[in-house]
Amino acid sequence: MKKTLVAVAAMAAVTGAMAEVTISGQLDQAYNTVRTTTAGQVSSTRTTLSNNALGQDALNFGVTEDVGGGITAYGNVNTIFNATTAAGSALTVDNGSGIGVRGEFGDIRLGVSYADTFFTSAASDASGWGAGTAVGQVHGVGTVGAALNSVQYTLPQFISGLKINLQRHVGETAGTRNGESQGGSVAYTTGGLSLGYAILNGKNTGAATDWTTRPGVGDQAAVQEAATAGSTSRANAFSASYDFQVAKLWVGYNTLASGGNTNQTATSSTYGISAPFGAVSVGIAASNASYKSAANASITATGTKLLTSYAFSKRTSAYFQYGVAKLSGNNGSATGNGIGLWHKF
């Protein structure tokens, strides 16, 4: 629930207009246990209190103003943090922060945004898209491009249920276009059917963390190698779901490729089902992802994740999650579970 303040600032005194300010956010904390087995078959267990099982701890400030002529100006400062970081956790500016205007011409926004491939990939997960310690979510191949400085344009909705969004992300590096990207998405919803497709093309930075050749599972870190500096990277994400009311089916497919002198690729797919039982909801997702290095070495990750939640109200829920993940060739595995609380305000 958004808390609303009516701010009559200096501008209002001059123009007679009023700006509406809102404060909103969410808290998500869980007690988690993760057991990891490495490629050398060494096992370890870790327990944590952390966020980002259903969503990140977030505090958001927004403002809107009707400037006339059917145009609305708006601004947002969206921040994320971890409420259980004992040493303190600074607020970090995140997706959705910025300023924009919308009207019959569409919606123009300047600020920080995740790439549409992230949201499209997340829309294919029946298990709530938990990250962090949410073992079993291995299909995030298409989820590239987080927290990018961007210019976005959403076209007017000329067909009911159709949304088209265009994005331009800036690299902000002198003398090079590395890190720049552009893309967009098309989404269509009608009745119980939801479809989404997103694409992202950009320039690699050439850093050693550019490309994952073996994903991490549990506390076993991912293995990464450099992509060719300045080469083009490409990501695609597709999602589909259908809500039968008694249950909802989910499916998704993602691709990621790096061109240039080397050619690394990755693909992933996911499918799942979720169902409500009064205040209780249950979702389960299964996924697999295949990664190929520049030397054409391949590895596959498989995962399954369960999420069940109980809604005390529209704003407060308790939940339990359980997941397993494995890498091919006995390169590692992990199991994890967590029990937590989520509140939106």
Q: Give which of 6, 30, 32, 35 is closest to 18, Cα–Cα.
A: 6
d(CA 307, CA 321): 4
Percent of residues, the chain, with pLDDT higher than 70: 83
pLDDT computed for residue 222 by the predictor:
84
pLDDT computed for residue 171 by the predictor:
76
d(CA 129, CA 283): 11
Q: Residue 188 pLDDT more than 70?
A: yes
**Rounded mean pLDDT of 70-91?**
84
The encoded tokens of residue 301 equal: 């990750």
Which of the two residues, 154 and 261, has the higher pLDDT score? 154
Beta bridge partners of 190: 193
pLDDT computed for residue 147 by the predictor:
65
**Rounded mean pLDDT of 282-296?**
90
DSSP E strands, 170-231: 181-190, 193-203, 211-214, 223-225
- Expressed in angstroms, the distance from the first to the final Cα of the chain is 4
pLDDT computed for residue 72 by the predictor:
97
Q: Residue 312 pLDDT more than 80?
A: yes
**Rounded mean pLDDT of 99-115?**
95
> What is the rounded average pLDDT for all residues in the chain?
85
| Strand pairing report for 223-225 and 71-81 | unpaired
d(CA 320, CA 316): 14
- If pLDDT is split at 50, 70 and 90, which confidence band does 12 have? very low
Our separate counts of H helices and E strands in the chain read 2, 21
- If pLDDT is split at 50, 70 and 90, which confidence band does 6 have? very low
SS3 for 329?
helix
State pLDDT tens for residues 224-235: 887 776 677 888
Cβ(257)–Cβ(205) under 8 Å?
Answer: no
CATH classification (class only), 26-53+106-344: mainly beta
| Tokens 């009707």, located at residue | 66
Percent of residues, the chain, with pLDDT higher than 90: 49
pLDDT computed for residue 205 by the predictor:
55
- If pLDDT is split at 50, 70 and 90, which confidence band does 279 have? very high
pLDDT computed for residue 7 by the predictor:
44
Cβ(336)–Cβ(34) under 8 Å?
Answer: yes
Which of the two residues, 72 and 49, has the higher pLDDT score? 72
Which of the two residues, 247 and 181, has the higher pLDDT score? 247
- If pLDDT is split at 50, 70 and 90, which confidence band does 11 have? very low
Each domain of the chain, given as residue ranges in start order, spans: 26-53+106-344
pLDDT computed for residue 145 by the predictor:
62
Sign, CA torsion 124/127/131/137: negative
**Rounded mean pLDDT of 132-161?**
77
Q: Residue 25 pLDDT more than 90?
A: yes
The encoded tokens of residue 228 equal: 């060719």
pLDDT computed for residue 156 by the predictor:
96
| Tokens 């924009």, located at residue | 100
The encoded tokens of residue 188 equal: 């269509």
SS3 for 121?
helix
d(CA 255, CA 266): 6
Which of the two residues, 133 and 255, has the higher pLDDT score? 255
Q: Residue 217 pLDDT more than 90?
A: no
pLDDT computed for residue 13 by the predictor:
45
- Interacting residues of 10 by C-beta distance below 8 A, sequence separation 6+: none
Which of the two residues, 324 and 17, has the higher pLDDT score? 324
